[in-house]
Homo-oligomer: A and B are copies of this chain.
Amino acid sequence: MEPVSSTPDRVAPHLLDLARRVSTATLSSQLLKHGFAHAFMLGVRPLRPDLRLAGQAFTLRYIPVREDLERPGEFDNRTNKQRIAVESVGPGDVLVIDARGDTRAATLGDILATRIAQRGAAGIVTDGAFRDTPSIQTIDLPTYAGGQSPIVSTAIHHPQDINVPIGCGGVAVLPGDVIVGDGEGVLVIPRAVAEDVIEAGYEQEQREEFIMSKIRGGSSILGVYPPDERTLQEYAEWKRR
């Protein structure tokens, strides 16, 4: 087995830490300002809504199974693309699996998910299903899926390609893209705008925290959300403290 390299174009770790502190709602607004309107995966839900996800995409593409492409139930770790992907992801990588949204069988189970966590990966995202989901939910790794099914992947899926551009949950994912997730779902940030989007998102998140504190204190939204000049000035002062 020859492991496949992750993208060499890494995002600075402190930026990923920052990204984990910004909601997908806020980041999607920043993406929209850069013109990206197709960034949120539809039908992909967190198994662990309490964890935040931030990392860079390492992609795996499944096609529909065909009886001459593999023998059901057999996995050769040296040639099977799913297995090569599992043993290739490393720190900061998010394994993103294109399963065509088909959840009738799993895309992987708890042993592979544990191995991925052991390798230091940042998370797993699939628009297909996991199997052993009750067990996967006990791993401290942000995981997202379109469903759950105990059926082994080879009943429906054939792993075809590693680190090619894919679609997942209706969104284009290129290797190296920044993948972020919270309890709401998963957002894809194109690599080229990742720094800008995350930093502006963090700034927006702080501003909205201030606005929220005013609203919680009984303020009307008038002049506050969106903020007018006066509120922005108050915010500037609040931030300085």
Contact = CB atoms under 8 A, between A and B. Distances in A.
Interface of A: 1, 23-29, 32-38, 40, 42, 49, 63-69, 72-75, 77-78, 83, 86-87, 100-102, 104, 106, 109-112, 114-115, 118, 131-135, 137, 148-152, 155, 158, 160-161, 164-167, 170-172, 174, 182-185, 187, 190, 192, 208, 211-212, 215-216, 218, 220-223, 225-226
B25 A38 contact: no
Contacts of A37: 67, 155
A118 B23 contact: no
Counting every copy of the chain, the complex holds 6
A165 B161 CA distance: 9
Contact of A40 (B149, B158, B161): B149
Given A170-B102, A184-B131, A115 B152 contact: no
Residue from the set A64, A131, A150, A185 with the largest chain B CB neighbour count within 10 Å: A150
A226 B164 CA distance: 27
Given A68-B192, A166-B63, A171-B64, A118 B221 contact: no
Contacts of A164: 160-161
A240 to B, nearest CB: 22
B114 A216 contact: yes
